[in-house]
Amino acid sequence: MDALSIGEAARLIGASADTVRRLADGGVIKSTRTGGGRRMLDTRSVAAYLRDQWPAAPAEPVYGQSARNRFPGIVTRVLRDKVMAQVDVQAGPHRIVSLMTREAADELALEPGVIVLAAVKATNVVIETPAP
């Protein structure tokens, strides 16, 4: 797929269709018009916009970490028991769930509304595409 509709791009970006139109009008995201006048957005341009909006490098220096996938987000929920904690983070349109010790969650003062950087390192990642 080389082009996305305004609505498809809005869902991927996590913004309104009006915001996506403004980005296209401002030249931030490349767009073309079909013969019928429908605006289509270049998928590579949308990907570049998303990449630029959420830089991979953290704001604060991190030393000696091998994880490459970093997602800036906000804590939406913290469930604690005596030993463990579940921390839910909303990073753009993605919900990331982290399980950690309660001690770690307490030391990081994790509560809803705290801005965090979720670093993900996985040995297996499954990629799926929609059916043709």
Domains of the chain are 3-53 (1.10.1660.10), 69-120 (2.40.50.100)
Q: What is the pLDDT of residues 12-21, one digit of tens each?
A: 788 899 999 9
> Which DSSP symbol is given to 103?
H
The mean predicted confidence, pLDDT, of the chain is 84
Its pTM stands at 0.55
Q: Torsion angle, CA of 12/17/23/27, rounded to 10 degrees?
A: 100
6 contacts 17 by C-beta, under 8 angstroms = yes
Residue 57 has pLDDT above 70, yes or no: no
| Tokens read off for 3 | 């082009």
55 contacts 97 by C-beta, under 8 angstroms = no
Q: 1 falls in which pLDDT band (50, 70, 90)? A: very low
- Looking at residue 101, its pLDDT comes to 96
What's the CA gap between 56 and 47, in Å, rounded?
A: 14
Mean pLDDT over residues 102-108, rounded? 95
Residue 32 has pLDDT above 80, yes or no: yes
